[in-house]
Homo-oligomer: A and B are copies of this chain.
Amino acid sequence: MPHGYNGKLLRIDLSSGKIIKEEIPGRLYRKYLGGSGLGGYYLTKEFAHFPEPFSPENPLIFIAGLLCGLPVPTGGKSCVVSRSPLTGIWGEATVGGHWGARLKSSGHDGIIVTGESDEPVFLSVSPAGCEILPAGDLWGKDTFETSEILTERIGKKAQVACIGPAGENLVRYASIMIGGDDARALGRCGMGAVMGKKKLKAIVVSGDIKMTLADPEKLKAAVREDTVLIREAAKGLTAFGTSGAVEAVEAAGDLPIQNWRGGEWKEGAKLVNGKVVVEKYLHKHYACYGCPIVCAKKAVVPYGPYKGKTGHSPEYETIAAFGGLTLNEDIEGAIVANDLCNRLGLDTISTGAVIAFAMEAYENGLITEEDAGRTLNWGDPGVLVDLPHLIAYREKIGDVLAEGVRCAAEKLGGNAEEFAIHAKGLEFPYHDPRAFHSMAVNYATANRGACHLEGLTYFVENGAFPAELIKYEITSDRFGVDGKADLCIKMQNFMNVLNAAGLCKFIIRGKAGPEKVCNWINLALGWDMDYDEIMKIGDRLHNLKRMYNVKLGIGRKDDRLPSRLATWARPGGGADGQLPHVGKMLWEYYKLRKWNEQGIPEPEKLEELELSEALI
């Protein structure tokens, strides 16, 4: 391990109770960085027999990003990878907060959990090692309660990652939640359900091990300078959080309306957005580890069983789901629904998509009032507030909806597949590929399915992130085809870098590109990483994950949008009449990626990326 702190991996088998601590070879860091890069290496190399997502053999791999816990801007990201029970393929989720940094301070970089416990347990990870402790008393408790109890038990500076009832009940899009009512989420791909299946309620990390830096003074100076720039460029995020942009997004025709059928929702966007939350319900602003942007907001819950308590304020993705997607114009309903999802341990992106799907199924007579125990009308905030409970506890129609839209559509039959909006089984996040055509090729090819983090090309196209920082030249407007595949690939590669490096995607809002990331890495670790090397790592990681999927049968046939996004033009608004030419962009994408006619990376490409060790 080239940098000074312990590069240590814990291997915990919950079936046998066996715990092993081992070194992570230093060369792996330089090749895969950390986070989902290093996690991808372990998943692909050691679990190439692809155990079923809910089998005890399927590992749940927590790994901190390379720079996580170091004093660099947004250096607080860690992630979890596993075979997803929602999609059956590559699964990953990323989180900020303080858990990853604390994991590092406990003297560990990663934890691979396999096996399955008979009784509920939690892990306590500290510099002394790891203990498997009983959690029978915690089973059934929500994530806020669980976190509070465990922090109390282990110590104030301990950080808790835990599941709620949704994970316990194997909801296929259950999240793993971090930090109690700070409520940062390892949201996507149902990682909470994998944890629930293992009867693992929580992982508590504690410790104060300091990490040494290669050139602390120069790093400090660079970070000081960069922080000013980042703060300045990202001040909209600081003021109103991610959901401050809802109105602008709507105006661009980029906000999904009524399960992606609508075109405009101007009045709604005025009522349901982050600015309104900050104005009326703000409790406080707060930041993830090391973050100068401070985009997180805490809100006071306006009604319901947790009225008056504080919780995480809905992010953009959440408010889009509990706003335009479901036609809900009641901001309070959105805040309450978000808070419930966080407590129950439900991914709000998938939950929102599932609720919109349920509303459309209800409209089509495929779900009845009896099935749901209530009406499921568009725009009714009561639906948003009631359904998370049914889903998390698999009650009534919630038992079907807990499977995600792809599987629920199969179970409901009829025409349900028409409005099950997903790619590769993962529900879509909330930027419309009809508004930024480059997002079409990104959604179609992102490794975990319809992913909001692997592409982010719209930040380049709307001018938030300077194209030249990834050596891209803008040659067509946001509705064009020209150059989009190139843009998509460059952004996918760079986003893979950010994830593995443990940095937040929002540094691109702060106009920090690959060069800046290299600089931080080099000053922190004493490396000599440059643009080409780091972007090649991004390329390597994207292809590594692709190969994991390829081995599970994924190919060109799966790289597609649902028909609603490919054949139903937005009716009105900022993307009126738009439909991306997905086929053409994909064709260019495959060529540039050097993927063959089946969408499989060519052997020479894999060789160039030195991936043979991971793919044997």
> Is A599 among interface residues, defined by CB-CB distance under 8 A?
yes
Whether A322 is near chain B, meaning CB under 8 Å from some CB there, is no
CB distance A413 to B553 under 8 Å?
yes
Q: List the B side residues contacting A598 at CB < 8 Å.
A: 415, 418-419
**Quick check: A557 and B553 within 8 Å, CB to CB?**
no
B583 with A567: CB separation less than 8 A: yes
Q: Distance in Å from the Cβ of A346 to the closest Cβ of chain B?
A: 26
Contact A557 B568 (CB under 8 A): no
B566 touches A414 (CB 8 A): no
Judge whether A587 and B579 touch: CB under 8 Å.
yes
Which of B557, B581, B590 sits near A584, CB closer than 8 Å? B581
Interface size of A by Cβ–Cβ distance < 8 Å? 33
Q: A579 — which chain B residues lie within 8 A by C-beta?
A: 581, 583-584, 587
By a CB distance below 8 angstroms, the chain B residues around A556 are 418, 563-564, 567-568
A418-B599 contact, Cβ under 8 Å, with A579-B587, A582-B583: yes
CB within 8 Å of B: which A479-530 residues: none
- Which residue of chain B has its CB nearest to the CB of A580? B583
Residues from chain B with Cβ under 8 Å of A586 in the complex: 566-567
How many Å from the CB of A431 to the closest CB on chain B? Answer: 18
CB distance from A556 to the nearest CB of B (A): 4
A417 located at the interface, meaning its Cβ lies under 8 Å from any Cβ of chain B in the complex: yes
Please measure, in the bound complex, the distance between the C-alpha atom of A564 and the C-alpha atom of B583, giving whole angstroms: 9
Q: Confirm or deny: A23 has a beta carbon within 8 angstroms of a beta carbon on chain B.
A: no
| CB-nearest residue of chain B to A561 | B583
Once bound together, how far apart are the Cα atoms of A590 and B564, in whole Å? 12
Q: Flag if A555 contacts B599 (CB, 8 Å).
A: no
What 0/1 readout, one digit per residue, does chain A (523-561) give for beta carbons within 8 Å of chain B?
000000000000000000000000000000101110110
A582: chain B residues at CB < 8 Å are 566-567, 583
**CB–CB A568/B587 < 8 A:** yes
Taking the nearest CB of chain B, how far is it from the CB of A130, in angstroms? 40
Q: Are B567 and A418 in touch, CB under 8 angstroms? A: no
Within 8 A of B (CB), among A560-616: 560, 562-564, 566-569, 579-584, 586-587, 590, 597-600
Q: Which residues of B sit under 8 angstroms from A231, Cβ to Cβ?
A: none
Q: Is A8 at the interface (CB under 8 A from chain B)?
A: no
Tell me the complex Cα distance, A415–B564, Å.
Answer: 26
Nearest-Cβ distance from residue A592 to partner chain B, whole angstroms? 13
Chain B residues near A417 (CB-CB < 8 A) = 555, 557
A141: CB under 8 A from chain B?
Answer: no
Partner of A415, one of B261, B415, B555, B562: B555
Residue of B whose beta carbon sits closest to that of A590:
B567
Closest CB in chain B relative to A604 CB, distance in Å: 18
A555, A563, A569, A580 pick with most chain B CB within 10 angstroms:
A563
CB 8 Å contact bits of A11-25 with B (1 = contact, 0 = none): 000000000000000
- Identify A563's interface contact among B261, B415, B559, B581, CB under 8 A: B559
- CA gap between A599 and B567 in the complex, in Å: 10
Interchain CA distance A556-B562 in the complex, whole Å:
10
B415 touches A553 (CB 8 A): yes
Q: Is the CB of A559 within 8 A of B567?
A: yes
Residue of B553, B567, B583, B599 touching A587 (CB-CB under 8 A): B567
Residues of B within 8 A of A568 (CB): 556, 587, 597
Residues of B contacting A584 in the complex (Cβ-Cβ under 8 angstroms): 569, 579, 581
Q: Complex Cα distance A261/B596, Å?
A: 11
Q: Is A418's CB under 8 angstroms from B581's CB?
A: no
Q: Is the CB of A563 within 8 A of B560?
A: yes
Contact residue among B413, B415, B587 (Cβ-Cβ distance under 8 Å from A569): B587
In the bound assembly, the distance between CA atoms of A586 and B569 in angstroms comes to 10
Give chain B nearest CB distance to A387 CB in angstroms. 23
Given contacts A415-B600, A582-B583, A583-B579, contact A563 B557 (CB under 8 A): yes
Q: Which of B557, B564, B580, B581 contacts A597 (CB 8 A)?
A: B564
The residues of B that contact A418 with a CB separation of less than 8 Å are 555-557, 597-599
Bound CA span A454–B149, Å: 68
Bound CA–CA A597/B569 (angstroms): 10
Q: Which B residues lie within 8 Å of A557 (CB)?
A: 417-418, 562-563
Neighbouring B residues of A419 by C-beta, 8 Å = 598
Nearest CB in chain B: distance from A588 CB, A: 9
Bound form: Cα–Cα A597–B571 in Å: 11
CB-CB under 8 A from A560, the residues of chain B are: 563
Docked complex: A459-484 residues within 8 A CB-CB of B: none
- Of all chain B residues, the one with the shortest Cβ separation from A413 is B553
Min distance, Cβ A361 to any Cβ of chain B, angstroms = 12
Q: 8 Å CB contacts to B: which residues of A158-207?
A: none
- 25 residue pairs of the A-B complex, CB under 8 angstroms, read A261-B597, A414-B553, A415-B598, A415-B600, A417-B555, A417-B557, A418-B555, A418-B557, A418-B597, A418-B598, A556-B563, A556-B567, A557-B562, A559-B563, A559-B567, A560-B563, A567-B582, A567-B583, A567-B587, A568-B587, A579-B587, A580-B583, A581-B581, A581-B583, A581-B584
Q: Which residues of A come within 8 Å of B, CB atoms? A: 261, 413-415, 417-419, 553, 555-557, 559-560, 562-564, 566-569, 579-584, 586-587, 590, 597-600
Give me 4 other A-B pairs in contact (C-beta within 8 A), A564-B597, A581-B581 excluded.
Answer: A418-B557, A418-B599, A563-B599, A579-B587
